[in-house]
Structures are given as C-alpha cells and as structure tokens.
Amino acid sequence: MQTQLSFAAEHRSFINGALIDQSQISSMKNWYPVSICDQTLDVFWRDLGEQKFHASFFQNTLNEQARSQRRVCKTSINVLGQFSNFVEPTAFVFHVSRCGSTLMTQMLSTLAHCIVLSEPPVIDIFFRTYKEFSEKNVRIFQQLIAALGQKRFDNERNLIIKLDSWHLGRIDFIRAAFPQTPLLFLYREPQQVLASHRRQRGPQMIPDFVDMGNLQIDRIDLSPGDLDAYCLRVLDQFYATAIEHYHVSNLQLINYSELPKLVWEKLLDHLNIACSTDELCQVKARSQFHSKHTDQSFHGDPPSQIEHIEIKKTLKFYQRLESLRQSQSNA
C-alpha cells in the first residue's frame, strides 16, 4: 500500500549512515533507538553524541545531524535492557493535534535539565510491531523508554515524552508500563482543529494513511473524499477516548485556551519541575514564537467560519471534556 511505503521510506532515512558493527561499540550511551524491524525485531540505533533535542520533533533532530556524522548500528531487541542510568518519565503527553502540544514541549525543552522528546518514531513502530498487550511487551516498552531517556548529562532530571495523537488508543498499555507517571491530554475546540487541518492535513486526518491502532474510526455513511467529516470522526474518537480514561487513567486535561500561561502558572509545579528565574524567562520567551518555526512570532491562527454539518456531534464530546476539566480545576 502506498501509505506504508511512504512511511517505510521515511524510516529508511533515519537509518542512513555509516553502519557500525555492535562489536565495535563499548557502550550504547549516546545511541538512540530510531526504528525496529517488524520481521526480525532488530533495533536500529543512531549515535547522537552530545546533540540535544531542541527541535520541534525527534525526527528533526535526526535530520539536522550532519550526514558525515551519522552512524547507525543494528542490534537485537535485548540490547534495550542495557540502560541502567536513565531518567524516569516525568510525563507523557497525549493530544488531538494542532492543540498547542508542540509549543508546550518546545517551552519545556528550553530547560537544560529536561529531556524533551517529541513523537519519537520508534514508539510508533513499537506499537505497530508489538500489538499484543502482554507482560513481556510492557517490559520491552519500559526498556525502550529507558533507552530514550538515557542520562547523558549530569544535570538531566526530567523526561517529557510527547506521543503521536493516535497513540491515545494505547493509553492502557502506557499506564500499565508506568502506573504513576502523569498523563497529560491537550485538546482544542474542534472547529479550530479542523480549520488547521484544512490548511495542512496531518496524516492521521487522511483515511488509511496512518495505522490508528486501537482507535476505531466510525466511517459509516462517510462520503468519499469528505476529509473534513473524517477529521471530525477522528476527533470524536480522540475526545471520547479521553473521556473514557479521564478517571481510570487519571488524565490531566489541558485546553489550548489555557496556553501558554498554564505552563508556568501550574504545570511546572504539577510535574515537580523546578527552574530558576532565568530559566522561567526562557520558557516564557519561547512561548512568543511559532511552535514549529522558531524564527517566526506567533499571532494566533486565522479564524474559520466554515462549519461542517457533522460538527454538532463533535462539539458534544468537546463540551463533555470541558465540563470534566472545569471540575478538575475546582477540585
């Protein structure tokens, strides 16, 4: 299928570089898992040296590395268990897309003691490869997160991982692996999300382009080519899943409208992330620029007046989330 080929091509770009035999490596420190072969279960790694994760997405960090410095290694899945010096996850970030999650993680990435990983491709590959909910697979996932959260610098003490939006369907799995780690869920008014995807469609909002995992998108009576309706059906599933797991998984609900102030007014304390006055200024300064284009000031999204006929159903889910968030804030 074309979509599978396009994603395969993307992942092939992550493992392009000088191939280093595992026997030549004395330590896997500075090596990061970037892909998993779904047939052999071999793990592919990239040596990132002291390169930090300041880019908007994990894959941007991989792509920014000079081609002459790209070193790749292939190992068995068991090598994931070698990491003993790592930072425990501070939070996992779920989101509906186009809702401020990238801006929030970019703000946190200004803090030198925070490791902030935004949508590491290897996590998506893991969930597409290890579909079974088993104790063994949960343990492998824990090891994968330890490898991603390896401690390379002495001051590192927080690890924030932002997942792809469709990973909300694996929230049971993630909660089983990390029962105490805070889970954040960022969302936004559906008309605004839809307007953003109208300007540039995310892959999850195109039918059959992304493996949505456990999320079952209702495609009954969906007109062929009506991408806006499909987007709203996806949002229905995102909102409904968050509502379902609000109490069970102890989701912290965050509305786009609360950003960016919520980060320094509540979130840092909620996650026990300490920062100095100067660091706080850095966090606030980053909030003034576009989440994905760091050289551009952000003045808000243009409004969209085109309302889809199916949005009323989606709004009911959204309003239910808002009710839960407000009760959460008053608790």
The answer as to whether 134 is a domain residue is yes
Which residue reads 């969209």 in tokens?
Answer: 304
**pLDDT score, position 300:** 58
Q: The domain spanning residue 296 has which CATH number?
A: 3.40.50
Residue 133 three-state SS: coil
pLDDT digits (tens, 9 = 90+) for 217-266: 999 999 989 999 999 999 999 999 999 999 999 999 999 999 999 999 99
The answer as to whether 228 is a domain residue is yes
The answer as to whether 311 is a domain residue is yes
The answer as to whether 8 is a domain residue is no
**pLDDT score, position 9:** 63
Residue 103 three-state SS: helix
**pLDDT score, position 157:** 97
The answer as to whether 1 is a domain residue is no
Distances (CA, A) of 175 to 98, 157, 249: 24, 21, 7
The answer as to whether 267 is a domain residue is yes
The answer as to whether 108 is a domain residue is yes
As a 3-state breakdown, the chain gives helix, strand, coil percent values, each rounded to 5, of 45, 15, 40
Residues 115 and 86: their CA atoms lie apart, in Å, by: 11
pLDDT digits (tens, 9 = 90+) for 280-301: 999 999 888 755 545 555 555 6
DSSP category for residue 179: T
Q: Give the E-state strand segments of the chain in sequence order.
A: 18-19, 31-36, 43-47, 71-75, 91-95, 114-118, 158-162, 183-187, 251-255
pLDDT digits (tens, 9 = 90+) for 312-326: 999 999 999 999 999
Q: What is this structure's pTM?
A: 0.93
Strands 71-75 and 18-19: what pairing? parallel
Confidence category of residue 304, pLDDT binned at 50, 70, 90 = low
pLDDT digits (tens, 9 = 90+) for 120-149: 999 999 999 999 999 999 999 999 999 999
Average pLDDT over residues 80-84: 96
What domain count does the chain have?
Answer: 1
Range of the domain at 255: 53-64+77-315
